Chain A
Amino acid sequence: MRVALGATAALFVVSGYFDFLKSPDDAWLGPSQRIFYVHMGAAFVVALAFTVACAASTLYLATRQLRFDRWACASAEVGMVFTSMLLTTGILWGKVVWGVWWTWDPRLTATLILWVLFWGYLLLRDGIRFREQRARVSAVLALVCYLDVPLDYMTIRWWKSIHPIVITAQGINMAPTMIGAMCLTSAAMVALYLSWVTVRVRLMGTEDILDDVKNGLRDGVRCQFWGDGS
Protein backbone atom coordinates (compact mmCIF):
# COMPACT_ATOMS: atom_id res chain seq x y z
CA MET A 1 0.00 0.00 0.00
CA ARG A 2 2.79 2.41 0.91
CA VAL A 3 4.51 1.66 -2.38
CA ALA A 4 1.33 2.40 -4.27
CA LEU A 5 0.84 5.70 -2.47
CA GLY A 6 4.47 6.64 -3.04
CA ALA A 7 4.23 5.84 -6.72
CA THR A 8 1.08 7.94 -6.98
CA ALA A 9 2.81 10.89 -5.34
CA ALA A 10 5.81 10.54 -7.64
CA LEU A 11 3.54 10.43 -10.68
CA PHE A 12 1.85 13.60 -9.54
CA VAL A 13 5.17 15.43 -9.12
CA VAL A 14 6.35 14.41 -12.60
CA SER A 15 3.04 15.19 -14.26
CA GLY A 16 2.89 18.53 -12.45
CA TYR A 17 6.30 19.38 -13.89
CA PHE A 18 5.08 18.51 -17.37
CA ASP A 19 1.75 20.32 -16.97
CA PHE A 20 3.05 23.58 -15.65
CA LEU A 21 6.68 23.89 -16.75
CA LYS A 22 7.56 21.59 -19.61
CA SER A 23 4.61 21.95 -21.95
CA PRO A 24 4.21 25.21 -23.90
CA ASP A 25 1.33 27.69 -23.64
CA ASP A 26 -1.39 27.10 -26.15
CA ALA A 27 -1.01 29.43 -29.13
CA TRP A 28 -4.66 30.31 -29.02
CA LEU A 29 -5.84 29.84 -25.45
CA GLY A 30 -2.70 30.85 -23.60
CA PRO A 31 -1.85 29.43 -20.18
CA SER A 32 -5.52 28.69 -19.40
CA GLN A 33 -5.12 25.61 -21.53
CA ARG A 34 -3.14 23.94 -18.74
CA ILE A 35 -6.34 23.26 -16.82
CA PHE A 36 -7.19 20.88 -19.62
CA TYR A 37 -4.69 18.30 -18.32
CA VAL A 38 -6.49 18.04 -14.98
CA HIS A 39 -9.85 18.16 -16.71
CA MET A 40 -9.03 15.33 -19.09
CA GLY A 41 -7.49 13.19 -16.34
CA ALA A 42 -10.56 13.65 -14.14
CA ALA A 43 -12.88 12.77 -17.02
CA PHE A 44 -10.94 9.58 -17.63
CA VAL A 45 -11.17 8.57 -13.98
CA VAL A 46 -14.90 9.39 -13.81
CA ALA A 47 -15.61 7.04 -16.69
CA LEU A 48 -13.43 4.38 -15.10
CA ALA A 49 -14.83 4.81 -11.58
CA PHE A 50 -18.48 4.47 -12.51
CA THR A 51 -17.79 1.59 -14.86
CA VAL A 52 -16.02 -0.17 -12.00
CA ALA A 53 -18.97 0.62 -9.69
CA CYS A 54 -21.37 -0.81 -12.25
CA ALA A 55 -19.28 -3.94 -12.82
CA ALA A 56 -18.87 -4.50 -9.08
CA SER A 57 -22.64 -4.11 -8.57
CA THR A 58 -23.32 -6.68 -11.27
CA LEU A 59 -20.81 -9.02 -9.68
CA TYR A 60 -22.46 -8.52 -6.29
CA LEU A 61 -25.88 -9.44 -7.66
CA ALA A 62 -24.38 -12.50 -9.32
CA THR A 63 -22.25 -13.76 -6.42
CA ARG A 64 -23.70 -12.07 -3.28
CA GLN A 65 -20.22 -11.47 -1.90
CA LEU A 66 -20.06 -8.32 0.18
CA ARG A 67 -16.61 -7.34 -1.00
CA PHE A 68 -18.06 -6.42 -4.40
CA ASP A 69 -20.53 -4.14 -2.67
CA ARG A 70 -17.64 -2.43 -0.92
CA TRP A 71 -15.85 -2.01 -4.22
CA ALA A 72 -18.97 -0.53 -5.82
CA CYS A 73 -19.51 1.93 -3.00
CA ALA A 74 -15.86 2.95 -2.71
CA SER A 75 -15.56 3.43 -6.45
CA ALA A 76 -18.72 5.56 -6.54
CA GLU A 77 -17.52 7.66 -3.62
CA VAL A 78 -14.15 8.37 -5.18
CA GLY A 79 -15.83 8.81 -8.54
CA MET A 80 -17.97 11.54 -6.99
CA VAL A 81 -14.86 13.45 -5.95
CA PHE A 82 -13.46 13.24 -9.46
CA THR A 83 -16.82 14.25 -10.97
CA SER A 84 -16.80 17.34 -8.76
CA MET A 85 -13.28 18.04 -9.99
CA LEU A 86 -14.38 17.53 -13.58
CA LEU A 87 -17.31 19.92 -13.20
CA THR A 88 -15.25 22.58 -11.41
CA THR A 89 -12.41 22.57 -13.91
CA GLY A 90 -14.95 22.46 -16.73
CA ILE A 91 -16.76 25.52 -15.41
CA LEU A 92 -13.53 27.49 -14.93
CA TRP A 93 -12.20 26.58 -18.32
CA GLY A 94 -15.56 27.21 -19.99
CA LYS A 95 -15.55 30.75 -18.63
CA VAL A 96 -12.14 31.42 -20.16
CA VAL A 97 -12.66 29.70 -23.49
CA TRP A 98 -16.37 30.14 -24.23
CA GLY A 99 -16.95 33.21 -22.10
CA VAL A 100 -19.79 31.61 -20.12
CA TRP A 101 -19.74 29.67 -16.88
CA TRP A 102 -22.16 27.02 -18.01
CA THR A 103 -23.86 25.84 -21.18
CA TRP A 104 -26.45 23.09 -21.50
CA ASP A 105 -24.27 21.08 -23.78
CA PRO A 106 -25.08 17.32 -23.80
CA ARG A 107 -21.81 16.35 -22.18
CA LEU A 108 -22.01 18.98 -19.47
CA THR A 109 -25.61 18.22 -18.67
CA ALA A 110 -25.08 14.46 -18.65
CA THR A 111 -22.13 14.90 -16.27
CA LEU A 112 -24.22 17.06 -13.98
CA ILE A 113 -26.98 14.46 -13.96
CA LEU A 114 -24.44 11.72 -13.30
CA TRP A 115 -23.23 13.74 -10.33
CA VAL A 116 -26.75 14.22 -8.94
CA LEU A 117 -27.76 10.59 -9.50
CA PHE A 118 -24.74 9.16 -7.74
CA TRP A 119 -25.12 11.60 -4.84
CA GLY A 120 -28.58 10.08 -4.56
CA TYR A 121 -27.09 6.60 -4.70
CA LEU A 122 -24.73 7.35 -1.81
CA LEU A 123 -27.44 9.06 0.24
CA LEU A 124 -30.02 6.32 -0.30
CA ARG A 125 -27.41 3.71 0.61
CA ASP A 126 -27.14 5.32 4.01
CA GLY A 127 -30.85 4.84 4.59
CA ILE A 128 -30.67 1.05 4.77
CA ARG A 129 -29.56 -0.63 7.96
CA PHE A 130 -28.98 -4.28 7.13
CA ARG A 131 -25.82 -5.03 5.24
CA GLU A 132 -27.12 -7.56 2.72
CA GLN A 133 -30.24 -5.56 2.00
CA ARG A 134 -28.19 -2.41 1.55
CA ALA A 135 -25.87 -4.18 -0.84
CA ARG A 136 -28.73 -5.53 -2.93
CA VAL A 137 -30.64 -2.25 -3.16
CA SER A 138 -27.58 -0.16 -3.89
CA ALA A 139 -26.40 -2.55 -6.59
CA VAL A 140 -29.75 -2.10 -8.35
CA LEU A 141 -29.63 1.67 -7.89
CA ALA A 142 -26.08 1.89 -9.26
CA LEU A 143 -27.01 -0.09 -12.36
CA VAL A 144 -30.09 2.05 -12.98
CA CYS A 145 -28.00 5.24 -12.64
CA TYR A 146 -25.39 3.88 -14.98
CA LEU A 147 -28.06 3.09 -17.57
CA ASP A 148 -29.72 6.47 -17.18
CA VAL A 149 -26.73 8.70 -17.96
CA PRO A 150 -26.24 7.70 -21.63
CA LEU A 151 -29.99 8.06 -22.16
CA ASP A 152 -29.79 11.63 -20.86
CA TYR A 153 -26.88 12.30 -23.17
CA MET A 154 -28.82 11.06 -26.19
CA THR A 155 -31.96 12.99 -25.30
CA ILE A 156 -30.14 16.24 -24.90
CA ARG A 157 -28.28 15.71 -28.14
CA TRP A 158 -31.57 15.27 -30.00
CA TRP A 159 -32.94 18.30 -28.27
CA LYS A 160 -29.93 20.33 -29.35
CA SER A 161 -30.08 19.06 -32.91
CA ILE A 162 -33.58 20.46 -33.19
CA HIS A 163 -32.80 23.75 -31.49
CA PRO A 164 -29.96 25.86 -32.91
CA ILE A 165 -26.63 25.32 -31.23
CA VAL A 166 -25.30 28.60 -29.93
CA ILE A 167 -21.85 27.60 -28.84
CA THR A 168 -19.55 25.04 -30.38
CA ALA A 169 -16.23 23.92 -29.01
CA GLN A 170 -13.24 24.58 -31.21
CA GLY A 171 -10.96 21.73 -32.06
CA ILE A 172 -7.60 21.87 -30.35
CA ASN A 173 -4.45 20.83 -32.13
CA MET A 174 -2.00 19.54 -29.61
CA ALA A 175 1.77 19.61 -29.50
CA PRO A 176 3.53 16.29 -28.66
CA THR A 177 4.62 17.56 -25.22
CA MET A 178 1.00 18.40 -24.53
CA ILE A 179 -0.08 14.86 -25.36
CA GLY A 180 2.68 13.53 -23.11
CA ALA A 181 1.56 15.80 -20.28
CA MET A 182 -2.04 14.69 -20.77
CA CYS A 183 -1.16 11.00 -20.61
CA LEU A 184 1.01 11.49 -17.54
CA THR A 185 -1.67 13.43 -15.70
CA SER A 186 -4.27 10.82 -16.54
CA ALA A 187 -1.97 8.08 -15.29
CA ALA A 188 -1.39 9.99 -12.05
CA MET A 189 -5.13 10.45 -11.58
CA VAL A 190 -5.83 6.77 -12.21
CA ALA A 191 -3.12 5.83 -9.71
CA LEU A 192 -4.70 8.15 -7.16
CA TYR A 193 -8.11 6.63 -7.84
CA LEU A 194 -6.81 3.10 -7.42
CA SER A 195 -4.96 3.73 -4.17
CA TRP A 196 -7.85 5.73 -2.76
CA VAL A 197 -10.40 3.04 -3.57
CA THR A 198 -8.16 0.33 -2.13
CA VAL A 199 -7.82 2.26 1.13
CA ARG A 200 -11.56 2.90 1.23
CA VAL A 201 -12.42 -0.77 0.59
CA ARG A 202 -10.13 -1.89 3.37
CA LEU A 203 -11.60 0.72 5.69
CA MET A 204 -15.13 -0.47 4.94
CA GLY A 205 -14.14 -4.07 5.58
CA THR A 206 -12.71 -3.01 8.95
CA GLU A 207 -15.89 -1.06 9.75
CA ASP A 208 -17.95 -4.18 9.11
CA ILE A 209 -15.75 -6.34 11.32
CA LEU A 210 -15.89 -3.70 14.04
CA ASP A 211 -19.68 -3.73 13.82
CA ASP A 212 -19.67 -7.51 14.23
CA VAL A 213 -17.41 -7.28 17.27
CA LYS A 214 -19.60 -4.62 18.85
CA ASN A 215 -22.77 -6.60 18.23
CA GLY A 216 -21.13 -9.70 19.64
CA LEU A 217 -20.00 -7.93 22.79
CA ARG A 218 -23.37 -6.29 23.28
CA ASP A 219 -25.19 -9.59 23.19
CA GLY A 220 -22.62 -11.43 25.27
CA VAL A 221 -22.18 -13.98 22.53
CA ARG A 222 -18.77 -15.39 21.72
CA CYS A 223 -17.42 -13.42 18.80
CA GLN A 224 -17.29 -15.28 15.58
CA PHE A 225 -16.41 -13.87 12.22
CA TRP A 226 -17.65 -15.26 9.02
CA GLY A 227 -17.61 -12.02 7.11
CA ASP A 228 -15.33 -11.91 4.15
CA GLY A 229 -13.92 -8.59 5.28
CA SER A 230 -10.18 -8.71 5.57
Chain B
Amino acid sequence: MLAKQLFSIAANSGNATRGDAQVQAIRRWVVLTAHEWTLQWRHKDSGLAVLAVALLEIAAFDLSMNRIPRLLAQTGPGILWMGFLFSGTLTVTRAYAHETAEDVMTGLYLAALGQTTQLVAKLTVNFMWLLGSVWLTTWLWVRLFMAPTRFSWAVMDLILSLGVLGLVSVGLLMARVGLLLEGADPFLTVWLMVLDLPVTVAAMGATWALMHGGDVWPWVRGLAVFDLIFLTSTLIFSDYLREV
Protein backbone atom coordinates (compact mmCIF):
# COMPACT_ATOMS: atom_id res chain seq x y z
CA MET B 1 0.00 0.00 0.00
CA LEU B 2 2.80 2.35 0.96
CA ALA B 3 4.58 1.28 -2.19
CA LYS B 4 1.54 2.13 -4.30
CA GLN B 5 1.28 5.59 -2.73
CA LEU B 6 4.96 6.29 -3.28
CA PHE B 7 4.64 5.10 -6.85
CA SER B 8 1.79 7.49 -7.55
CA ILE B 9 3.70 10.41 -5.99
CA ALA B 10 6.66 9.52 -8.16
CA ALA B 11 4.57 9.31 -11.30
CA ASN B 12 2.90 12.67 -10.70
CA SER B 13 6.08 14.56 -9.91
CA GLY B 14 7.60 13.03 -13.01
CA ASN B 15 5.07 14.62 -15.31
CA ALA B 16 5.32 18.04 -13.71
CA THR B 17 9.07 18.54 -13.72
CA ARG B 18 11.15 17.03 -16.44
CA GLY B 19 14.75 18.13 -16.77
CA ASP B 20 15.31 19.68 -13.40
CA ALA B 21 18.20 17.59 -12.18
CA GLN B 22 17.53 17.81 -8.49
CA VAL B 23 13.86 17.01 -8.74
CA GLN B 24 14.81 14.22 -11.14
CA ALA B 25 17.16 12.73 -8.54
CA ILE B 26 14.52 12.91 -5.82
CA ARG B 27 11.96 11.36 -8.15
CA ARG B 28 14.31 8.50 -8.91
CA TRP B 29 15.01 8.03 -5.24
CA VAL B 30 11.27 7.80 -4.55
CA VAL B 31 10.79 5.34 -7.43
CA LEU B 32 13.62 3.19 -6.19
CA THR B 33 12.63 3.36 -2.54
CA ALA B 34 9.15 2.19 -3.44
CA HIS B 35 10.70 -0.54 -5.55
CA GLU B 36 13.04 -1.65 -2.72
CA TRP B 37 10.06 -1.70 -0.40
CA THR B 38 8.22 -4.01 -2.80
CA LEU B 39 11.25 -6.31 -2.92
CA GLN B 40 11.59 -6.41 0.86
CA TRP B 41 7.89 -6.97 1.31
CA ARG B 42 8.03 -9.87 -1.12
CA HIS B 43 10.92 -11.54 0.70
CA LYS B 44 10.60 -10.21 4.26
CA ASP B 45 13.96 -11.80 5.05
CA SER B 46 15.76 -8.86 6.61
CA GLY B 47 13.08 -8.17 9.18
CA LEU B 48 12.39 -11.82 9.93
CA ALA B 49 16.07 -12.67 10.44
CA VAL B 50 16.39 -10.12 13.24
CA LEU B 51 13.18 -11.31 14.88
CA ALA B 52 14.24 -14.95 14.61
CA VAL B 53 17.59 -14.27 16.28
CA ALA B 54 15.83 -12.22 18.94
CA LEU B 55 13.34 -14.98 19.74
CA LEU B 56 16.20 -17.45 19.90
CA GLU B 57 18.03 -15.23 22.38
CA ILE B 58 14.97 -14.67 24.49
CA ALA B 59 14.14 -18.35 24.60
CA ALA B 60 17.71 -19.45 25.34
CA PHE B 61 18.39 -16.89 28.05
CA ASP B 62 15.01 -17.28 29.65
CA LEU B 63 15.40 -21.03 29.86
CA SER B 64 18.95 -21.04 31.12
CA MET B 65 19.41 -17.96 33.29
CA ASN B 66 16.12 -16.61 34.45
CA ARG B 67 16.62 -18.03 37.96
CA ILE B 68 19.42 -15.57 38.68
CA PRO B 69 17.61 -12.38 39.73
CA ARG B 70 18.10 -9.25 37.61
CA LEU B 71 20.80 -10.90 35.49
CA LEU B 72 18.92 -10.51 32.23
CA ALA B 73 18.03 -6.92 33.05
CA GLN B 74 21.72 -6.19 33.64
CA THR B 75 23.10 -7.94 30.59
CA GLY B 76 20.17 -6.95 28.34
CA PRO B 77 21.91 -4.20 26.35
CA GLY B 78 24.90 -6.40 25.58
CA ILE B 79 22.85 -9.41 24.57
CA LEU B 80 20.43 -7.37 22.50
CA TRP B 81 23.07 -5.44 20.56
CA MET B 82 25.16 -8.53 19.88
CA GLY B 83 22.03 -10.09 18.43
CA PHE B 84 21.32 -7.01 16.31
CA LEU B 85 24.93 -6.96 15.16
CA PHE B 86 24.79 -10.60 14.03
CA SER B 87 21.42 -10.64 12.35
CA GLY B 88 21.74 -7.11 10.99
CA THR B 89 25.14 -7.82 9.45
CA LEU B 90 23.96 -11.08 7.96
CA THR B 91 20.96 -9.49 6.28
CA VAL B 92 22.50 -6.21 5.20
CA THR B 93 25.44 -7.87 3.45
CA ARG B 94 22.83 -9.66 1.34
CA ALA B 95 21.26 -6.34 0.34
CA TYR B 96 22.39 -6.67 -3.28
CA ALA B 97 21.48 -10.36 -3.60
CA HIS B 98 18.39 -9.65 -5.72
CA GLU B 99 20.49 -7.71 -8.19
CA THR B 100 23.07 -10.45 -8.80
CA ALA B 101 20.77 -12.79 -10.73
CA GLU B 102 20.16 -11.66 -14.32
CA ASP B 103 22.77 -8.91 -13.91
CA VAL B 104 20.24 -6.33 -12.77
CA MET B 105 23.00 -3.99 -11.57
CA THR B 106 24.13 -3.50 -15.17
CA GLY B 107 20.60 -2.85 -16.32
CA LEU B 108 20.05 -0.24 -13.63
CA TYR B 109 23.38 1.36 -14.39
CA LEU B 110 22.46 1.64 -18.08
CA ALA B 111 19.18 3.26 -17.08
CA ALA B 112 21.49 6.09 -15.98
CA LEU B 113 20.80 5.31 -12.37
CA GLY B 114 23.58 6.67 -10.17
CA GLN B 115 25.16 4.50 -7.50
CA THR B 116 24.27 7.03 -4.87
CA THR B 117 20.56 7.08 -5.66
CA GLN B 118 20.39 3.32 -5.45
CA LEU B 119 22.47 3.26 -2.28
CA VAL B 120 20.31 5.86 -0.57
CA ALA B 121 17.15 3.97 -1.56
CA LYS B 122 18.55 0.72 -0.19
CA LEU B 123 19.70 2.54 2.91
CA THR B 124 16.24 3.95 3.51
CA VAL B 125 14.40 0.67 3.12
CA ASN B 126 16.90 -1.52 4.99
CA PHE B 127 16.97 1.04 7.79
CA MET B 128 13.17 0.99 8.07
CA TRP B 129 12.95 -2.79 8.16
CA LEU B 130 15.80 -3.32 10.57
CA LEU B 131 14.64 -0.55 12.87
CA GLY B 132 11.16 -2.05 12.98
CA SER B 133 12.34 -5.46 14.05
CA VAL B 134 15.01 -4.08 16.38
CA TRP B 135 12.40 -1.95 18.11
CA LEU B 136 10.03 -4.88 18.49
CA THR B 137 12.79 -7.03 19.97
CA THR B 138 13.83 -4.38 22.49
CA TRP B 139 10.25 -3.82 23.53
CA LEU B 140 9.76 -7.55 24.04
CA TRP B 141 12.93 -7.85 26.09
CA VAL B 142 12.02 -4.94 28.34
CA ARG B 143 8.51 -6.34 28.80
CA LEU B 144 9.72 -9.82 29.65
CA PHE B 145 12.79 -9.25 31.75
CA MET B 146 12.88 -5.68 33.01
CA ALA B 147 9.29 -4.93 33.97
CA PRO B 148 9.96 -2.48 36.85
CA THR B 149 12.58 -0.43 34.94
CA ARG B 150 11.43 3.03 33.85
CA PHE B 151 13.12 5.00 31.10
CA SER B 152 12.29 7.36 28.26
CA TRP B 153 11.26 5.48 25.14
CA ALA B 154 11.93 8.57 23.04
CA VAL B 155 15.62 8.42 23.94
CA MET B 156 15.57 4.68 23.38
CA ASP B 157 14.14 5.21 19.89
CA LEU B 158 16.91 7.68 19.16
CA ILE B 159 19.59 5.22 20.30
CA LEU B 160 18.07 2.37 18.30
CA SER B 161 17.81 4.55 15.18
CA LEU B 162 21.39 5.77 15.40
CA GLY B 163 22.71 2.26 16.07
CA VAL B 164 20.78 0.72 13.19
CA LEU B 165 21.84 3.55 10.85
CA GLY B 166 25.49 2.84 11.66
CA LEU B 167 25.10 -0.89 11.07
CA VAL B 168 23.21 -0.42 7.81
CA SER B 169 25.54 2.18 6.30
CA VAL B 170 28.80 0.21 6.63
CA GLY B 171 26.88 -2.97 5.90
CA LEU B 172 25.74 -1.66 2.52
CA LEU B 173 29.26 -0.65 1.55
CA MET B 174 30.44 -4.17 2.33
CA ALA B 175 27.47 -5.62 0.45
CA ARG B 176 28.78 -3.76 -2.61
CA VAL B 177 32.22 -5.21 -1.94
CA GLY B 178 30.61 -8.63 -1.61
CA LEU B 179 29.32 -8.36 -5.19
CA LEU B 180 32.91 -8.17 -6.40
CA LEU B 181 34.25 -11.02 -4.26
CA GLU B 182 34.16 -14.54 -5.48
CA GLY B 183 33.18 -16.89 -2.70
CA ALA B 184 34.58 -14.89 0.21
CA ASP B 185 31.24 -13.48 1.41
CA PRO B 186 30.99 -15.52 4.65
CA PHE B 187 34.30 -14.15 5.75
CA LEU B 188 33.26 -10.67 4.69
CA THR B 189 30.29 -10.89 7.07
CA VAL B 190 32.47 -11.81 10.03
CA TRP B 191 34.96 -9.11 9.14
CA LEU B 192 32.18 -6.56 8.91
CA MET B 193 31.18 -7.40 12.49
CA VAL B 194 34.65 -6.37 13.62
CA LEU B 195 34.37 -3.20 11.57
CA ASP B 196 31.02 -2.46 13.24
CA LEU B 197 32.56 -2.67 16.70
CA PRO B 198 32.63 1.09 17.46
CA VAL B 199 28.96 1.48 16.60
CA THR B 200 27.96 -1.61 18.56
CA VAL B 201 29.92 -0.67 21.66
CA ALA B 202 28.62 2.90 21.61
CA ALA B 203 25.04 1.70 21.14
CA MET B 204 25.47 -0.80 23.98
CA GLY B 205 26.91 1.90 26.20
CA ALA B 206 24.03 4.23 25.44
CA THR B 207 21.39 1.56 26.02
CA TRP B 208 23.03 0.47 29.25
CA ALA B 209 23.28 4.04 30.49
CA LEU B 210 19.63 4.67 29.65
CA MET B 211 18.35 1.50 31.30
CA HIS B 212 20.50 1.79 34.41
CA GLY B 213 20.61 5.51 34.98
CA GLY B 214 23.98 6.55 33.61
CA ASP B 215 24.83 9.56 31.47
CA VAL B 216 23.37 8.75 28.04
CA TRP B 217 24.37 11.81 26.06
CA PRO B 218 28.13 11.30 25.61
CA TRP B 219 27.32 7.92 24.10
CA VAL B 220 24.58 9.26 21.87
CA ARG B 221 26.86 12.04 20.62
CA GLY B 222 29.60 9.51 19.93
CA LEU B 223 27.14 7.29 18.10
CA ALA B 224 26.00 10.21 15.97
CA VAL B 225 29.60 11.05 15.05
CA PHE B 226 30.32 7.42 14.11
CA ASP B 227 27.18 7.33 11.96
CA LEU B 228 28.25 10.48 10.22
CA ILE B 229 31.72 9.10 9.50
CA PHE B 230 30.44 5.74 8.30
CA LEU B 231 27.66 7.23 6.21
CA THR B 232 29.97 9.71 4.53
CA SER B 233 32.63 7.14 3.76
CA THR B 234 30.00 4.74 2.41
CA LEU B 235 28.65 7.42 0.09
CA ILE B 236 32.12 8.40 -1.07
CA PHE B 237 33.60 4.93 -1.47
CA SER B 238 30.65 3.19 -3.09
CA ASP B 239 31.29 5.27 -6.20
CA TYR B 240 34.64 3.55 -6.60
CA LEU B 241 33.11 0.08 -6.45
CA ARG B 242 31.09 0.19 -9.63
CA GLU B 243 31.74 -2.91 -11.64
CA VAL B 244 32.93 -2.17 -15.18
A and B directly contacting (CB within 8 A): yes
Q: Which residues of A contact B (CB under 8 A)?
A: 61, 113, 116-117, 120, 123-124, 126-129, 133, 136-137, 139-141, 143-145, 147-148, 151-152, 154-156, 158-159, 162
Cβ-defined contact, A129 with B182, below 8 A: yes
Minimum CB–CB distance for A115 against chain B, Å: 10
List the A residue with the shortest CB-CB distance to B232: A147
B173 at the interface (CB under 8 A from A): yes
Choice from B209, B222, B229, B233 contacting A155 with Cβ under 8 Å: B222
Cβ-defined contact, A136 with B233, below 8 A: no
> Considering the complex, which residues of chain B in the window 111-146 have a beta carbon less than 8 Å from any beta carbon of chain A?
none
Please report the total number of B residues contacting A with Cβ < 8 Å.
Answer: 31
| Complex CA distance for A116 and B173, rounded to whole angstroms | 19
Q: Which residues of A contact B205 (CB under 8 A)?
A: 155, 158-159, 162
Minimum CB–CB distance for B212 against chain A, Å: 11
> Considering the complex, which residues of chain B in the window 161-209 have a beta carbon less than 8 Å from any beta carbon of chain A?
170, 173, 177, 180-184, 187-188, 191, 194-195, 197-198, 201-202, 205, 209
B213 at the interface (CB under 8 A from A): no
Asked whether A155 and B198 contact (CB < 8 A) given A137-B177, A162-B214, the answer is yes
Q: Mark B215-244, 1 if CB is under 8 A from A, else 0.
A: 100110010001001000100010011010
| Complex CA distance for A133 and B226, rounded to whole angstroms | 28
Asked whether A61 and B173 contact (CB < 8 A) given A120-B187, A127-B181, A151-B198, the answer is no
Cβ-defined contact, B180 with A155, below 8 A: no
Between A and B, 24 residue pairs with Cβ closer than 8 Å are A61-B240, A120-B187, A123-B184, A124-B177, A124-B181, A127-B183, A127-B184, A127-B187, A136-B241, A137-B177, A137-B180, A137-B181, A137-B241, A139-B240, A143-B233, A143-B237, A144-B233, A144-B237, A152-B198, A154-B198, A155-B226, A158-B218, A158-B219, A158-B222
Q: Which residues of A contact B194 (CB under 8 A)?
A: 113, 116-117, 120
Max count, chain A CB within 10 A of own CB: residue among B173, B177, B215 = B177
Cβ-defined contact, B218 with A128, below 8 A: no
| Complex CA distance for A154 and B202, rounded to whole angstroms | 10
Q: Which residues of A contact B240 (CB under 8 A)?
A: 61, 136, 139-140
| Complex CA distance for A111 and B179, rounded to whole angstroms | 29
Minimum CB–CB distance for B193 against chain A, Å: 10
| Complex CA distance for A50 and B197, rounded to whole angstroms | 20
List the B residue with the shortest CB-CB distance to A123: B187
Minimum CB–CB distance for A9 against chain B, Å: 37
Cβ-defined contact, A140 with B195, below 8 A: no
List the B residue with the shortest CB-CB distance to A161: B218
Choice from B181, B195, B214, B219 contacting A148 with Cβ under 8 Å: B195
Nearest first, the 3 closest Cβ-Cβ pairs linking A and B are: A127-B184, A120-B191, A151-B198
Max count, chain A CB within 10 A of own CB: residue among B173, B201, B243 = B201
Q: Which residues of B contact A126 (CB under 8 A)?
A: 184
Cβ-defined contact, A128 with B202, below 8 A: no
Minimum CB–CB distance for B229 against chain A, Å: 6
For the A-B complex with A120-B187, A136-B241, A155-B222 known, give 18 more contacts whose Cβ atoms are closer than 8 Å: A117-B194, A120-B191, A124-B177, A124-B187, A127-B182, A127-B184, A133-B243, A137-B181, A137-B241, A141-B177, A143-B233, A145-B195, A151-B198, A151-B229, A155-B205, A158-B202, A158-B205, A158-B222
